[in-house]
Amino acid sequence: MSELTDGVIVLRPWHTDDAEWYATQSNDVEIQRNTAEPAHLTAAPVAEEIARYAADPRYPGWAICEADSGELLGNAGVDLAHGEVSYWVAAAARGRGIATRAVRLMAAYAFEISELEELRLWVKPGNAGSARVARKAGFTRAPELDNDVAIRDEVWRAEYYRMTRDAAHISAASHRTIVDGRLILP
């Protein structure tokens, strides 16, 4: 799977060695409050999921890392079957523009490698940080797409945002920014 970078962060494939870190971060209160991550995750099931998703080109997922140090910062994924992106940033790495950079990279990648005309993401009501990330990355609010989603044992309202291919300025025929499996955004 491709690596994506803008020079500040790198989105690289997950390694099974990352499972312990992923499990620990995913138990963070904000991640549990705002995402579908299962509660009380441990390394073993995460390692299984990493191996399973690595083999499925419909669901590319990446570790967000600092470009210079390789330090793990968060999780980013795109469901190419439904054109949806998702993300979280580890508590210690928030407030540095990491999520915005990751969403921009994923959007550029998804439009480059697929025929999708639109990408979507959803935000739980009250998740002001993620709503701001969506807008900063170029998504606009799409209330007509809002629906109810079953998350763990609850029903959450999903507030949708969309970005069209036109808005991303990536033509369906380009396929040119990925070189040797690496997408580089200026």
Ligand X SMILES: CC(C)(COP(=O)(O)OP(=O)(O)OC[C@H]1O[C@@H](n2cnc3c(N)ncnc32)[C@H](O)[C@@H]1OP(=O)(O)O)[C@@H](O)C(=O)NCCC(=O)NCCS
Q: Given candidates 6, 30, 66, 118, which one binds ligand X under the rule CB under 6 A? A: 30
Interacting span for ligand X (CB under 6 A) from 13-21, 85-93, 104-112, 167-175: 85-93
If one asks whether residue 141 binds ligand X (CB under 6 A), the answer comes out as no
24 by DSSP, 3-state: which?
Answer: helix
Q: Are 85 and 78 in contact (CB under 8 A)?
A: yes
- Residue 120 CB, nearest distance to ligand X (Å)? 11
If one asks whether residue 132 binds ligand X (CB under 6 A), the answer comes out as yes
The one-letter amino acid code at 60 reads P
Residues 6+ apart with CB under 8 A from 30: 91
| Distance separating alpha carbons of residues 33 and 37, to the nearest angstrom | 9
If one asks whether residue 65 binds ligand X (CB under 6 A), the answer comes out as no
The size of the interface with ligand X (CB under 6 A), counted in residues, is 22
| Distance separating alpha carbons of residues 22 and 64, to the nearest angstrom | 11
- Residue 163 CB, nearest distance to ligand X (Å)? 14
Which of 143, 144, 131, 138 is closest to 170 using CA atoms? 138
- Residue 171 CB, nearest distance to ligand X (Å)? 27
Q: Which residues bind ligand X (CB under 6 A)?
A: 30-31, 34-35, 87-89, 94-100, 123, 127-130, 132-133, 136
